[in-house]
């Protein structure tokens, strides 16, 4: 039963809109609202449609510390799908921003602790339909708003190669578990690089699909125009398999429009001979960020592609350096409007709203605001200020500039089939100490996104390919194509994977990962 506001509550609302209401005005509006409230009472009586939960499962369990040495598992389970299919025999972990019916979902924050979804996300159903086994939920960063692996309220996720280093974020647990061999595949999410960055730092494959290729239904959103979900895996073939299982429109996600799927396995072994690869100049040499060994590892990867028969040359897209600024305005104001003020679901879009998630998160966010991460606090404070002071002007301008950024990449992709650049400018960074100052916590969460986030803005597909080790830490090369060009990206990644190029001669300090 929906309650009418009190006189004082209505006065507070009117003041927030700069309305001057007399006592008579307030009484009049309260009377008018009573008639409107009847509709809300009727909605309470109606049963909303929900996706069917097709496969039985147990409640799962929290892992013991000795079986969770990387801090990467949030929950363990065994949910078996169809008896056979594309993913038969594969163990798949699901990022904990994705709804799995019956399993607790925390999305990295104590604000959501205790919430258990009653439905499966579309991609969960598709994985099970394809014969995969879901073996657990992976830890992700607090509300998925960090590129480091130190912000989850369950504790940091450790890099499998060096436990003092970050695994990357926000799909930290997914990448760490694939790298450590505890599952063959995992689901990641990507709004600023959160599939590709942890894949790079953990030394696995992570593909951010074209915006809308994979339905986002049943997944905690951040910003509708930036939201992506996709595969992380230990091989290109497994990446292609998982992508094949989860793509296509579901009729419930407004991010999906004119989706073009493909057979990602058909031409996987086709090689790169004759393919044109542009080495994106602006992806290298970021002041105070880029490490020489990382840049050189990617240039060595470009020479490997040339040896495979690709035409490789440097290409310049100056506006790439502005991608971080465009992303900041969209992500900060958009996330504040949708993820914070909109209680994760917002309004003004058609599709399936996970109302139980919205309600649980809203109550937790309001009552436990101090438990939000420092990065989320910074985002919401900045976003609310910009919205109230500048009324959305910069968000709107950034969205308009996103088309100009896409056109700049398109100009390069008119000649080149793919672009190549470092996934992350630096190797995995140290995990901040528990008592680290706020400034360090925020720096370690956001400093690495410069090369990845522009492709969330334009929505183009890209994959992080492990291309070497330096000082014992993985380095990832990123391949980028135009919309719906996942098959070509995967083919190039597979050609590189199959060369044994990790054993090729490397500059001093860059070691083999093979």
Q: Per the omega criterion (within 30 degrees of 0), is the bond before 170 cis?
A: yes
Residue 344 is a catalytic residue: no
Q: Kindly state whether residues 75 and 28 are assigned to the same domain.
A: no
What pLDDT, on a 0 to 100 scale, did the predictor assign at position 508?
A: 44
What pLDDT, on a 0 to 100 scale, did the predictor assign at position 501?
A: 67
Contact 415, 276 (CB under 8 A): yes
Q: Kindly state whether residues 231 and 261 are assigned to the same domain.
A: yes
Number of separate domains in the chain: 2
CATH, residue 195: 3.90.1300.10
Q: Is residue 390 pLDDT above 70, yes or no? A: yes
Q: Kindly state whether residues 24 and 95 are assigned to the same domain.
A: no
Task: Report how far apart, in Å, the C-alpha atoms of 147 and of each of 3, 240, 443 are.
Answer: 42, 24, 10
Look up residue 98 and give its DSSP letter: B
Largest Cα–Cα separation, the chain: 83
Q: Kindly state whether residues 291 and 429 are assigned to the same domain.
A: yes
387 found inside a domain? no
Q: Kindly state whether residues 272 and 420 are assigned to the same domain.
A: yes
Q: Kindly state whether residues 303 and 435 are assigned to the same domain.
A: yes
How many Å separate Cα 360 from the centre of its chain?
Answer: 21
Q: Kindly state whether residues 120 and 169 are assigned to the same domain.
A: yes
What pLDDT, on a 0 to 100 scale, did the predictor assign at position 59?
A: 82
325 found inside a domain? no
What pLDDT, on a 0 to 100 scale, did the predictor assign at position 506?
A: 35
Q: Is residue 315 pLDDT above 90, yes or no? A: yes
What pLDDT, on a 0 to 100 scale, did the predictor assign at position 476?
A: 97
Q: Kindly state whether residues 298 and 165 are assigned to the same domain.
A: yes
Look up residue 224 and give its DSSP letter: T
Catalytic residue among 90, 95, 208, 427: 95
Q: In angstroms, rounded to a whole number, what is the distance separating the alpha carbons of residues 189 and 144? A: 8
Q: In angstroms, rounded to a whole number, what is the distance separating the alpha carbons of residues 379 and 267? A: 43
| Mean of all residue pLDDT scores within the chain | 95
99 found inside a domain? yes
Q: Kindly state whether residues 149 and 119 are assigned to the same domain.
A: yes
Domain that holds residue 32: 7-45
Q: Kindly state whether residues 280 and 181 are assigned to the same domain.
A: yes
Residue 244 is a catalytic residue: no
Q: How confident is the model at residue 509 (pLDDT cuts 50, 70, 90)?
A: very low
What pLDDT, on a 0 to 100 scale, did the predictor assign at position 214?
A: 98
Look up residue 318 and give its DSSP letter: G
pLDDT per residue as tens digits for the range 48-106: 999 999 999 988 999 999 999 999 999 999 999 999 999 999 999 999 999 999 999 99
Q: Kindly state whether residues 173 and 235 are assigned to the same domain.
A: yes
Residue 194 is a catalytic residue: yes
Contact 356, 126 (CB under 8 A): no
Q: Kindly state whether residues 19 and 86 are assigned to the same domain.
A: no
253 found inside a domain? yes
Cα distance from N-terminal residue to C-terminal residue, the chain: 63
Catalytic residue among 194, 200, 290, 402: 194
What pLDDT, on a 0 to 100 scale, did the predictor assign at position 47?
A: 94
Q: In angstroms, rounded to a whole number, what is the distance separating the alpha carbons of residues 197 and 222? A: 17
pLDDT per residue as tens digits for the range 131-178: 999 999 999 999 999 999 999 999 999 999 999 999 999 999 999 999
267 found inside a domain? yes
What pLDDT, on a 0 to 100 scale, did the predictor assign at position 502?
A: 47
414 found inside a domain? yes
What pLDDT, on a 0 to 100 scale, did the predictor assign at position 219?
A: 98
Catalytic residue among 146, 149, 170, 172: 170
Would you tell me how many other CB atoms lie within 10 Å of the CB of residue 411?
13
196 found inside a domain? yes
Percent share of the chain, pLDDT over 70 = 97
239 found inside a domain? yes
Look up residue 125 and give its DSSP letter: H
Would you tell me how many other CB atoms lie within 10 Å of the CB of residue 9?
12
Q: How confident is the model at residue 283 (pLDDT cuts 50, 70, 90)?
A: very high
What pLDDT, on a 0 to 100 scale, did the predictor assign at position 514?
A: 31
């Amino acid at each position: 039963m929906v309650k009418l506001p009190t006189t004082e509550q209505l006065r507070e609302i009117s003041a927030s809109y700069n309305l001057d209401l007399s006592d008579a005005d307030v009484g009049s509006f309260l009377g008018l609202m009573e008639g409107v409230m009847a509709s809300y009472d009727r909605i309470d009586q109606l049963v909303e449609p929900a996706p069917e939960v097709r496969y039985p499962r147990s409640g799962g369990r929290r892992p013991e510390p000795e079986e969770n040495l990387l801090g990467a598992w949030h929950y363990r389970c065994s949910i078996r799908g169809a008896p056979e299919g594309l993913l038969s025999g594969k163990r798949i972990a699901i990022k904990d921003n994705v709804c799995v019916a019956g399993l607790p979902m925390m999305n990295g924050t104590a604000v959501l602790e205790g919430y258990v979804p009653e439905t499966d996300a579309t991609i969960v159903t598709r994985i099970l339909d394809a014969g995969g086994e879901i073996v657990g939920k992976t830890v992700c960063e607090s509300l998925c708003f960090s590129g480091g692996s130190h912000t989850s309220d369950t504790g940091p996720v450790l890099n499998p190669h060096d436990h003092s280093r970050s695994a990357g974020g926000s799909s930290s647990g997914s990448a760490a578990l694939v790298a450590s061999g505890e599952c063959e595949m995992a689901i990641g999410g990507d709004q600023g690089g959160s599939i590709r960055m942890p894949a790079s730092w953990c030394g696995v494959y992570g593909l951010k699909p074209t915006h809308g290729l994979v339905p986002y239904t049943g997944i905690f959103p951040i910003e509708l125009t930036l939201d992506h979900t996709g595969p992380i895996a230990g091989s290109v073939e497994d990446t292609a398999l998982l992508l094949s299982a989860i793509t296509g429109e579901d009729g419930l996600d407004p991010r999906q429009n004119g989706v073009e799927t493909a057979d990602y396995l058909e031409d996987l072994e086709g090689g790169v001979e004759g393919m044109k690869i542009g080495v994106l100049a602006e992806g290298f040499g970021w002041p105070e960020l880029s490490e020489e060994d990382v840049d050189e590892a990617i240039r060595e990867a470009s020479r490997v592609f040339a040896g495979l028969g690709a035409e490789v040359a440097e290409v310049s897209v100056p506006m790439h350096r502005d991608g971080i600024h465009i992303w900041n305005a969209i992500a900060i104001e958009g996330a504040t409007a949708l993820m914070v003020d909109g209680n994760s679901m917002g309004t003004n879009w058609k599709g399936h709203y996970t109302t139980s998630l919205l309600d649980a998160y809203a109550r937790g966010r309001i009552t436990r605001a101090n438990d939000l991460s420092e990065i989320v606090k910074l985002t919401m404070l900045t976003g609310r200020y910009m919205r109230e002071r500048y009324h959305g002007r910069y968000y709107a301008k950034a969205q308009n500039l996103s088309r100009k950024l896409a056109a700049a990449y398109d100009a390069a992709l008119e000649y080149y089939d793919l672009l190549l650049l470092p996934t992350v400018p630096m190797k995995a960074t140290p995990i901040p100490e528990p008592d680290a100052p706020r400034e360090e916590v925020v720096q370690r969460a956001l400093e690495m996104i410069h090369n990845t986030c522009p492709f969330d803005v334009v929505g183009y597909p890209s994959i992080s390919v492990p291309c070497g080790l330096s000082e014992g830490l993985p380095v990832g090369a990123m391949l980028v194509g135009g919309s719906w060009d996942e098959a070509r990206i995967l083919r190039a990644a597979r050609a590189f994977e199959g060369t044994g190029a990790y054993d090729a001669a490397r500059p001093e300090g860059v070691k083999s990962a093979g």
